[in-house]
Homo-oligomer: A and B are copies of this chain.
Amino acid sequence: MSADRLSTTFSALADPTRRAILARLASGETTVNDLAAPFEMTLPAVTKHLKVLERAGLITRGREAQWRPCRLAAQPLRDVAEWVEQYRLYWEQRFDRLERYLDELQQEKANVRKTAKYTERSKRRTRT
């Protein structure tokens, strides 16, 4: 299901064979046979992977005699980059928090050593 653009893109990227194909195409246009060579799977299987990539707009295909050259199309990758960038702020901020938390733990440890007293630790985090 989930036929939206981004889902189709992520779905196409969720396979190591297909990502390897994209990596290969990043260094230049090539044929189906050439793309298939590194993999221990049949040619029809590779054809299917190419269809998935094409449907996701990650590759385009030409026609040259009996070859069907494939080339990388970057727009969906740009969309992925844009999507994931939204979260960069989150994980950067979260790492700040983590660092602060670890500092607090160190401080607490020191205090425990000093006062020889265990205070209530690990309070349940409240929602929101």
- Residue ranges of A at the interface with B (Cβ–Cβ < 8 Å): 2, 4, 6-11, 13-17, 19-20, 22-23, 26-31, 33-34, 36-42, 62, 64, 67, 69, 72, 74-75, 77-78, 80-81, 83-88, 90-91, 94, 98-99, 102, 105, 108-109, 111-113, 115-119, 121, 123-125, 127-128
Copies of this subunit: 2
Q: Is the CB of B112 within 8 A of A20?
A: yes
Indicate which residue in B29, B77, B91, B116 contacts A128 across the interface (CB closer than 8 Å): B29
Q: Is the CB of B34 within 8 A of A19?
A: no
Shortest CB-to-CB span from A76 to chain B, Å, is 10
Indicate which residue in B69, B78, B102 contacts A91 across the interface (CB closer than 8 Å): B78
Q: Is the CB of A127 within 8 A of B80?
A: no
Q: Is the CB of A118 within 8 A of B78?
A: no
With CB as the reference atom, state the residue of chain B lying closest to A114.
B40
Report chain B residues within 8 Å CB of A11. 10-11, 14
Report chain B residues within 8 Å CB of A13. 10
Would you list 19 pairs from A and B whose C-beta atoms are within 8 A, ordered by A residue? A7-B16, A10-B10, A16-B111, A20-B105, A22-B87, A23-B102, A26-B86, A26-B87, A27-B98, A34-B128, A36-B125, A40-B113, A40-B118, A40-B123, A41-B116, A41-B118, A42-B123, A81-B85, A81-B87
